[in-house]
């Protein structure tokens, strides 16, 4: 990235997984990072670890599913750290289950975090970016937003919704010089993925694919690392992507065959 020193970035879902790695990557570029998460304890631990690496990261506990909490935390961040230049929507939950067996609670919760959270946070930040006529937003979506997955109806639908929302937002704010893009990861070695493995290491299954679930596997023969996703986010926020907006950058090792 270029010319980022002294600027401020917000990362939601920053207590762990991809979010904490994105926060680290941004802080390494000299940004003041506001790490936002609803898990105050884990957020505190993650922020302390990053600050132990001499990185300028500040923790802000907030629930992205609450419009009021989002507005309050965005106000606080701007008061304490300065105008927000970058936003990364990385908060997400994964509830699996075939549609005929999926509970209403799982469906609702998935959309509350993955879709409403992106809307609330993007709206709050974009409202402040527009008068300043500068800024960049990246939403971490999923390759499942464009490829059907067995047992992931709620997750895929929520990510598809946040994908199109981010593109529509990008169209609306382009006149103000604000860019909105997406990173769409596939299987990534995070606690969220490992929670699906029921205690067993299913790396090989992820790489090889499952014919009965219509998954073709990963042509690059490896899981993504959180750093792979963070690097894609960095590129889309950076001046190197100054003429890129409403773009969906897939980071899945070829698992969706480039479609």
- Number of folded domains in the chain? 1
Domain-embedded: residue 217: no
Is the pLDDT at 188 greater than 90, yes or no?
Answer: no
pLDDT tier for residue 8 given thresholds of 50, 70 and 90? very high
Specify the pTM: 0.95
* 40 Cβ contact list (under 8 Å, min separation 6): 61
> Which CB contacts under 8 angstroms, 24+ apart, belong to 124-129?
124/70, 124/71, 124/74, 125/10, 125/74, 125/84, 125/87, 126/169, 126/173, 126/178, 128/74, 128/78, 128/83, 128/84, 129/84, 129/173, 129/176, 129/178
Distance from C-alpha of 8 to C-alpha of 84, rounded to nearest angstrom: 5
Distance from C-alpha of 183 to C-alpha of 231, rounded to nearest angstrom: 10
Domain-embedded: residue 156: yes
Question: Radius of gyration over alpha carbons of the chain, in Å?
Answer: 17
| Catalytic residue check, 86 | no
Report phi then psi at 189, rounded to 5: -75, 85
Secondary structure letter of residue 16 according to DSSP: S
Domain-embedded: residue 143: yes
Domain-embedded: residue 35: yes
Active-site entry in 86, 155, 176, 214 = 155
Q: Which residues pair with 224 in a beta bridge?
A: 188
- Tell me the torsion sign for CA atoms 105, 107, 111, 114: positive
CATH number of the domain enclosing 56:
3.40.50.720
| Average pLDDT estimate for 180-192 | 90
For the chain, list the strands marked E by DSSP: 8-12, 32-37, 57-61, 86-89, 136-140, 179-185, 248-251
Query: 3-class SS at 243?
Result: coil
| Residue-wise pLDDT tens digits, 129-156 | 999 999 999 999 999 999 999 999 999 9
| Average pLDDT estimate for 198-221 | 84
| Residue-wise pLDDT tens digits, 30-74 | 999 999 999 999 999 999 999 999 999 999 999 999 999 999 999
| Helices (H), ranges, 174-220 | 191-194, 203-208
Domain-embedded: residue 209: no
Domain-embedded: residue 203: no
- Domain, as residue range, for 158: 8-188+226-251
Domain-embedded: residue 244: yes
Domain-embedded: residue 69: yes
């Amino acid at each position: 990235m270029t010319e980022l020193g002294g600027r401020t970035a917000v990362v939601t879902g920053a207590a762990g997984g991809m979010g904490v790695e994105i926060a680290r990557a941004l802080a390494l570029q000299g940004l003041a990072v506001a790490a936002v998460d609803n898990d105050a304890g884990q957020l505190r631990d993650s922020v302390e670890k990053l600050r132990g690496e001499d990185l300028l990261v500040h923790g802000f506990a907030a629930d992205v599913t609450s419009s009021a909490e989002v507005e309050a935390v965005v106000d606080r961040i701007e008061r304490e750290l300065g105008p927000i230049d970058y936003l990364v929507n990385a908060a997400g939950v994964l509830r699996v289950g075939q549609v005929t067996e999926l509970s209403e609670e799982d469906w609702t919760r998935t959309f509350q975090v993955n879709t409403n959270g992106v809307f609330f946070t993007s709206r709050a930040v974009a409202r402040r970016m527009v008068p300043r006529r500068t800024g960049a937003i990246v939403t971490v979506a999923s390759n499942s937003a464009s490829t059907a997955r067995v047992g992931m109806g709620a997750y895929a639908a929520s990510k598809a919704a946040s994908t199109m929302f981010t593109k529509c937002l990008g169209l609306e704010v382009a006149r103000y010089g604000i860019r909105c893009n997406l990173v769409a990861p596939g299987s990534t070695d995070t606690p969220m993925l490992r929670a699906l493995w029921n205690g067993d290491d299913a790396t090989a299954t992820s790489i090889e694919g499952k014919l009965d679930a219509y998954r073709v596997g990963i042509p690059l023969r490896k899981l993504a690392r959180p750093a792979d996703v963070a690097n894609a986010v960095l590129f889309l926020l950076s001046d190197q992507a100054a003429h890129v907006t409403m773009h969906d950058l897939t980071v899945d090792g070829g698992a969706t065959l480039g479609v």
